[in-house]
Amino acid sequence: MNPPLRVLVVDDEPLARTGVAALARGDGDLEVIGECGDGAAALEAIRRLRPDLVLLDVQMPELDGFEVLRSLDRSELPAVIFITAYDQFAVSAFDVHAVDYLVKPFDDARFAEAIARARSTIRGARAGEVSERLAGLLEQLGGGPPADEWLSRLVVKTGGRVVLVRVEDIDWIEAADYCVKLHVQGKVHVLRESLLTLESRLNPARFFRIHRSGIVNLDRITELQPFFRGEHIVLLRDGSKLKLSRNRRRDLEARLGQPL
């Protein structure tokens, strides 16, 4: 008889996390070994507990589900059932790589179906097959669309109005819980999309992620100032001052073609 699958539940919404954990505990073939309310805690728990399966919310502030997995070595990648609000780009990618997902809201039957598929995959997969599938998914999501399909405009719904924002007019983009804030010529527009997903659809020749919660339009940078322990302050045309994290400095140097 096979031992229970060791499961980690990750969701930043307490009620959702409690509900998912309760469903998992109702399955005698699952053992819930932990619950996490944010990406940083999830990353630490995956490395420490080595779960067989992670029920992982995609859209979390600061460090979202995809970023948690990107922070792991391939050998550390567990089997994953993604839990997500509807996101066409991500969901289509899940299908391609045979990774299961639950779209909120979901019922007990759909949960049981996802668990059954995960159980079959984990126990029937060859060594490394599960992590290879997940690595393939992350590579696709990181690659974004073909070069001629980068976003040129965004549709923002606000106060009963629909605003079209030209991507080239964006100064910088800020993560804000489940949304992003588009800073555009002195105005701020809120778009319900994760920073990671939006980043994958932006032309990397124009936009650069300076830290985990911010993306800048490279054409808007006017100055870089040394700050503290290898960090820099990025000054934009609109007067914004943003911090460039140390681990992104070399990438920016490569993008600019010269050292900072």
Together in a domain, 191 and 130? no
Domain endpoint, select from 77, 111, 143:
143
Together in a domain, 29 and 127? yes
pTM of model > 0.85: no
Interatomic CA distance for residues 64 and 196, integer angstroms: 8
Together in a domain, 14 and 102? yes
pLDDT of residue 95: 56
- Token readout for 181 is 């804030």
pLDDT of residue 124: 73
Together in a domain, 134 and 20? yes
**Burial zone of 206 (CB within 10 Å; 0-12 exposed, 13-18 middle, 19+ buried):** middle
Together in a domain, 67 and 189? no
Tally the C-alpha atoms within 13 A of residue 260's C-alpha that lie toward its C-beta.
22
User: 158-166: long-range contacts (C-beta < 8 A, 24 or more apart)?
Assistant: 158/189, 158/190, 163/189, 165/189
Together in a domain, 42 and 135? yes
Query: Which CATH number belongs to the domain containing residue 114 in this structure?
Result: 3.40.50.2300
Question: pLDDT exceeding 70 applies to what percent of the chain?
Answer: 81
Together in a domain, 9 and 137? yes
Show the low-confidence residues of the chain (pLDDT under 50).
Answer: 89, 96, 98, 144-147
Together in a domain, 158 and 139? no
**Structural domain count, the chain:** 2
Together in a domain, 62 and 156? no
Domain endpoint, select from 143, 168, 189:
143
User: Domain residues for 68?
Assistant: 5-143
Interatomic CA distance for residues 156 and 162, integer angstroms: 6
Interatomic CA distance for residues 36 and 20, integer angstroms: 12
Question: Nearest Cα to 79, choosing from 12, 127, 147?
Answer: 127
Interatomic CA distance for residues 85 and 82, integer angstroms: 10
The SS3 of residue 169 is helix
Interatomic CA distance for residues 108 and 59, integer angstroms: 21
Together in a domain, 13 and 135? yes
CA of residue 249 relative to chain centroid, distance: 21
Together in a domain, 12 and 138? yes
Interatomic CA distance for residues 133 and 152, integer angstroms: 31
Query: Which CATH number belongs to the domain containing residue 164 in this structure?
Result: 2.40.50.1020
Together in a domain, 45 and 106? yes
Domain endpoint, select from 143, 162, 194:
143
pLDDT of residue 259: 63
